[in-house]
């Protein structure tokens, strides 16, 4: 028996690449993958947001996190984010990077909070899969 996945209403992209961010936004809008998209240019911006959230309904159900960013990179973000345990209870965190280095992939998967490592760019088929849309 297949369980029906809950529709994702809010997603979050943490990435300093404006072209990638634009592409993600347009794909999410075009295919109506969610109704709310949070966008942050680095881990510190995202962390600042997450620290202020007091209502769980304002949290994203899925987060796409880049590794290499200025101010606070993805690794530092994960280290800080895991110290906010109530925030990531019902959240799917994916490291989305252009790096194909096995060390990066293994490091990402070593964090229990990371659902998977995805190589950019993401295809619409992969996005639909991650958003639980058939």
Domain assignment present for residue 19? The answer is yes
Residue 33 has pLDDT above 60, yes or no: yes
**Residue 88 pLDDT:** 61
Least confident range from 3-12, 98-107, 108-117: namely 3-12
What is the rounded average pLDDT of the residues 50-60?
A: 87
Which two structure tokens, joined as six digits, stand for 20? 């990638």
57-109 pLDDT tens trace: 888 999 999 999 999 999 999 999 998 867 667 789 999 999 999 999 999 99
Sheet containing 10-14, strands listed edge to edge, beginning at the edge strand earlier in sequence: 36-40, 10-14, 62-65, 92-97, 114-119
Number of domains in the chain: 1
pLDDT of residue 126: 93
pLDDT at 3 over 90: no
Q: Look up the domain containing 22 and give its range.
A: 10-130
Give dist(CA 69, CA 114) in Å, integer.
18
Cα distance between the two ends of the chain? 16
Q: Judge whether 82 lies within some domain.
A: yes
Look at residue 1 and tell me if it is in a domain: no
The answer to whether the CB of 38 falls within 8 A of the CB of 61 is no
Query: Which secondary structure element, helix H or strand E, spans residue 78, and what is its range?
Result: helix 74-81
Tokens representing 125 are 């088929």
List Cα–Cα distances, 10 to 76, 84, 96, 109, in angstroms: 23, 19, 17, 23
| CATH number for position 32 | 3.40.50.2300
Backbone CA torsion sign across 109, 113, 116, 122: negative
pTM for the complete prediction? 0.91
Query: Does a structural domain hold residue 61?
Result: yes
- What is the pLDDT, as a whole number, of residue 19? 95
Residue 94 lies in a domain: yes
Instruction: Report yes or no on 47 lying in a domain.
Output: yes
Does some domain include residue 3? no
The answer as to whether 2 is a domain residue is no
Percent of the chain's residues with pLDDT above 70:
91
The DSSP H or E segment spanning 26 is: helix 18-30
């Amino acid at each position: 028996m297949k369980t029906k996945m809950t529709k994702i209403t809010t997603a979050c992209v943490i990435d300093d690449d404006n072209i990638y961010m634009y592409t993600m936004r347009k794909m999410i809008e075009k295919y109506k993958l969610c109704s709310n998209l949070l966008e942050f240019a680095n881990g510190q911006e995202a962390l600042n947001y997450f620290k202020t959230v007091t209502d769980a309904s304002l949290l994203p159900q899925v987060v796409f996190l880049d590794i290499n960013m200025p101010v606070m990179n993805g690794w530092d973000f994960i280290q800080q984010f895991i110290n906010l345990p109530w925030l990531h209870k019902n959240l799917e965190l994916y490291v989305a990077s252009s790096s194909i280095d096995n060390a990066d992939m293994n490091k990402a998967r070593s964090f229990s909070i990371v659902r998977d490592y995805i190589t950019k760019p993401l295809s619409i088929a992969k996005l639909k899969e991650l958003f639980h849309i058939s």
